[in-house]
Amino acid sequence: MKEYIIDKRDSSIIVILSDNISLDILSPIVLPQIYAVYNDKLVRLYCLPEMVSSVDQYIKKISKRSCSSYILSIIRKNRFLIGTVISICLAYLFPNVGKTGGYIRSEWSIKWGCIIFLSGLFLRTNQLAKEFLHIRLHATIQIYNLFIILFIIYGFMLLLSITSMNKTLIIGIIIMGSSSTTISSNVVMTKNALGNEHAALLNAVLGNLLSIFISPAMILYFMKNSIFDSLSNRKNNKDQLDYGHVIKNLSLTVLLPLVIGQIIHLLWTKQVTYIRDKFYLAEINNLAVLTLIWSVFCTAFANRSFQKIDTKDLFILIIIDAGIYMIFSLLIMIIARLPIRH
């Protein structure tokens, strides 16, 4: 800093010091080009008497500009969270637009559009193929998602079943823990975290395929517990799960869009790459996920799902979901960093 100031002999310099730098190292007498010195909170430490007014005005103008820049940077960093809130508000105001079976038939238009865009069109086929070789990664993720998370949530829900908490919500959380993760949000959030989006896509699709068979079996196994007898519908015990229907839906909404996107990518690789780099498609990725969130909440508000839950139970549910998210995110971070060879 001193060398910089000495080099600018014909300049008028305002110095802003952090708390860990002493004012003694910059003597205004030795360095007359220093007009003023401020600390990092923009409190004046020194200023030429004749320049106090003009320098203070300049600093105020700078501080206002930096304040607005700071607010904009916060908005930019948290744009996905802000977008999520806006999406939920729009879903609340206009639920019939984006609900399943609504005006735009979101179960097809949004799912197809977003999945083709997110997981098919802009992911390189050769990189997806390479991901198949990472067996340990896939095994860890699937075991963690389909078994470890599920059994921990089930054990925790058994503890909560002793309390006065709504048993229907407890079963709902067990079913949520038994379900596979969403594909589109996995890819986008992994990309935003600078992670391996191809591994995220591959494991999301693999998890959805495995959960067709694993999730119903685990749910039926857990519901055999006598604690949930009062909520069991014995009339449906003879009904069988229509696996063919489930596989058909999964193929139409996940696998087929993925294949179509990859075919387009292979046929027009240069054009797709140009569009991806030219039009900031990372931002459009976020928009696609927000569109999915909007359509899900449109369906929830249209079906009045939230009105069927007491305010107390809804508040408890939000706390439990937030806890599940943070605990299992932290746990997988620890597992991934264990110093185990092979």
Place of tokens 């696998």: 255
Its pTM stands at 0.59
- Taken in order 137, 138, 142, 145, the sign of the CA dihedral is positive
Tokens of 277: 């780099």
pLDDT of residue 235: 47
Q: Count how many residues are written for the chain.
A: 342
Task: Give the residue from 197, 203, 200, 208 showing the smallest Cα distance to 254.
Answer: 208
Tokens of 81: 């969270």
How far the first Cα of the chain sits from its last, in Å, is: 50
Q: Render each residue's pLDDT in the chain as its tens digit; 342 residues.
A: 777 777 777 788 888 777 777 766 666 666 778 878 887 777 888 888 888 888 888 877 777 766 667 777 777 777 778 888 999 999 999 888 888 888 887 777 776 666 655 555 656 667 777 788 888 889 999 999 889 999 999 999 888 888 878 888 888 888 888 888 776 667 767 877 778 878 887 888 788 778 877 888 888 888 887 776 655 554 454 455 566 676 677 666 666 766 777 787 778 878 777 776 676 665 666 777 788 888 888 888 888 877 777 788 888 888 999 999 999 999 998 988 888 776
In angstroms, the CA 289 to CA 65 distance is 33
Domain covering 78-336: architecture: Up-down Bundle (1.20)
Contact 145, 214 (CB under 8 A): no
Question: Is 331 strand, coil or helix?
Answer: helix
Residue boundaries of the structural domains of the chain = 2-64, 78-336
